[in-house]
């Protein structure tokens, strides 16, 4: 009897060990094809210039904030230039919990409403996802290891599957006035070559990061999500290895991107943009994918009155990108675009009139 018990215990331990050594499997969804209409738009835009966008640009700005239900698309950029950005970025962080507001306290009802309004005007929407850490319950910046457990731990995997189901419902709810799906860009697990997010370098293996990306996209496909283009966006790359170490593969990525800020001065910023866009251009040409500067901003905006025309525009002119998106205007000590009477506001007006800068009215007038 004792020997029998020992055998049962050993068998159970072996079974547990095996279950923790294999990634959670998911059946592949219906045959999936990237949203070719939006992808073609991005290619056509790149042939003309580049769309200019801002994160949360129509939800709030310096000293103003829209309430739910407002039917006016406001913008610091519009207040300065008279034109709305061609692209608006929003974040889906906290949607995974079924929350009413995202991590920047913008309601998902307003995000959905403005997605419909921007699409109706001919603009483009990009979604990032600062998901909380599913293991520690902390924020995206809580680097407690989580990726391996999403893939191998049944309890954490079940939680993550619920998160993806909630994302899926949101994406599928984005319908225009004719009840047609609105195509959007989805930029998850960004800046993975940095160490500040739970999915970043050093907080999971490169192999597990790739599996996480592929698993997430497969789950979205299984839930019938077919109105997204996925954007792969590392932080400033030192070399091509920073791209290749984490790239999930052409079947799981539709747009190539990179996030670059001028943390080390404008000249280093210029060189980083040139070098990084060269990598994306080569990869994009090989895989026939558009590419973009998916997140950027001047950390010294108040000190650089001519940053738009003397730094940003020259490095992006004829670069081949589909869009550039600057980060949000949260307050006077944390902003990345401009606003009325800000130090660079006059320069921004000149920037907007540059031949390759495409604002929302330009997309409509040029039929892009």
Report residue 129 as tokens. 């996802």
- Is 196 annotated to bind a ligand? Reply is yes
Active-site residue, selected from the candidate residues 96, 218, 295, 342:
295
The CA-based dihedral angle spanning residues 271, 310, 296, 363, taken in that order and rounded to the nearest 10 degrees: -120
Active-site residue, selected from the candidate residues 83, 165, 177, 191:
191
- Is 215 annotated to bind a ligand? Reply is no
Q: Which residue has the tokens 């006035």?
A: 177
Catalytic residue status for 191: yes
What is the 3 state secondary structure string of the chain?
A: CHHHHHHHHHHHHHHHHHHCCCCCCCCCCCCCCCCHHHHHHHHHHHHHCEEEEEECCCCEECCEECCCCCCCCCCHHHHHHCCCCCEEEEECCCHHHCCCECCCCCEHHHHHHHHHHHHHCCCEEEEEECCCCCCCCCCCCCCCCCHHHHHHCHHHHHHHHHHHHHHHHHHHCCECCCCCECCEEEEECCCCCCCCCCCCECCECHHHHHHHHHHHHHHHHHCCCCCEEEEECCECCCCCHHHHCCCCCHHHCCEEEEEEECCCCHHHHHHHHHHHHHHHHHHHHHHCCCEEEEEEECCCHHHCCCHHHHHHHHHHCCCCCCEEEECCCCECCECCCCCCCCCCHHHHHHHHCCCCEECHHHHHHCCC
- Is 163 annotated to bind a ligand? Reply is no
Q: How far apart are CA 302 and CA 300, in angstroms?
A: 6
The CA-based dihedral angle spanning residues 220, 226, 228, 232, taken in that order and rounded to the nearest 10 degrees: 60
Catalytic residue status for 295: yes
Widest pairwise Cα distance in the chain: 87
CB-side exposure of 336: number of CA atoms within 13 Å?
21
Bind-site residues for substrate: 130, 196, 261
Bind-site residues: 130, 196, 261
Q: Which residues are catalytic?
A: 191, 295
């Amino acid at each position: 009897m004792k020997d029998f018990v020992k055998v049962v215990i050993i068998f159970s331990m072996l079974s547990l060990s095996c279950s923790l050594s294999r990634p959670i499997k998911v059946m592949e969804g219906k045959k999936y094809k990237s949203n070719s209409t939006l992808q073609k738009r991005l290619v056509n835009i790149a042939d003309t210039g580049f769309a200019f966008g801002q994160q949360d640009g129509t939800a709030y700005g310096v000293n103003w904030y829209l309430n739910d239900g407002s039917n006016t698309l406001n913008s610091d950029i519009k207040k300065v230039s008279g034109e709305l950005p061609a692209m608006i970025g929003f974040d889906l962080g906290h949607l995974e919990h079924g929350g009413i507001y995202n991590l920047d306290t913008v309601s998902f009802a307003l995000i959905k409403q403005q997605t419909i309004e921007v699409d109706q005007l001919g603009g483009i929407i990009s979604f990032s996802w600062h998901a909380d850490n599913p293991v520690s319950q902390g924020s995206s910046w809580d680097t407690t290891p989580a990726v391996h457990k999403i893939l191998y731990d049944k309890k954490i995997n079940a939680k993550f599957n619920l998160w993806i189901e909630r994302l899926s419902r949101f994406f599928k709810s984005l319908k225009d006035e004719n009840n047609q799906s609105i195509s959007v860009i989805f930029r998850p697990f960004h800046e993975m070559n940095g160490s500040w997010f739970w999915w970043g370098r050093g907080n999971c293996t490169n192999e597990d990061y790739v599996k996480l990306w592929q698993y997430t996209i497969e789950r979205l496909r299984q839930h019938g999500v077919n109105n997204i283009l996925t954007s792969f966006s590392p932080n400033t790359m030192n070399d091509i290895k920073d791209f290749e170490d984490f790239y999930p593969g052409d079947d799981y990525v539709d747009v190539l991107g990179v996030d670059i800020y001028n943390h080390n001065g404008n000249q280093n910023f210029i060189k980083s943009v040139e070098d990084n866009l060269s990598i994306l251009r080569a990869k994009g040409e090989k895989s026939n994918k558009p590419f973009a500067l998916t997140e950027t901003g001047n950390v010294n905006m108040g000190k650089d009155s001519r940053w738009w025309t003397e730094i940003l525009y020259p490095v992006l002119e004829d670069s081949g990108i589909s869009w550039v998106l600057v980060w949000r205007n949260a307050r006077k000590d944390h902003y990345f675009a401009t606003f009325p009477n800000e130090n660079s506001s006059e320069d921004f007006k000149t920037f907007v009139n540059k031949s390759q800068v495409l604002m929302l009215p330009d997309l409509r007038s040029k039929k892009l």
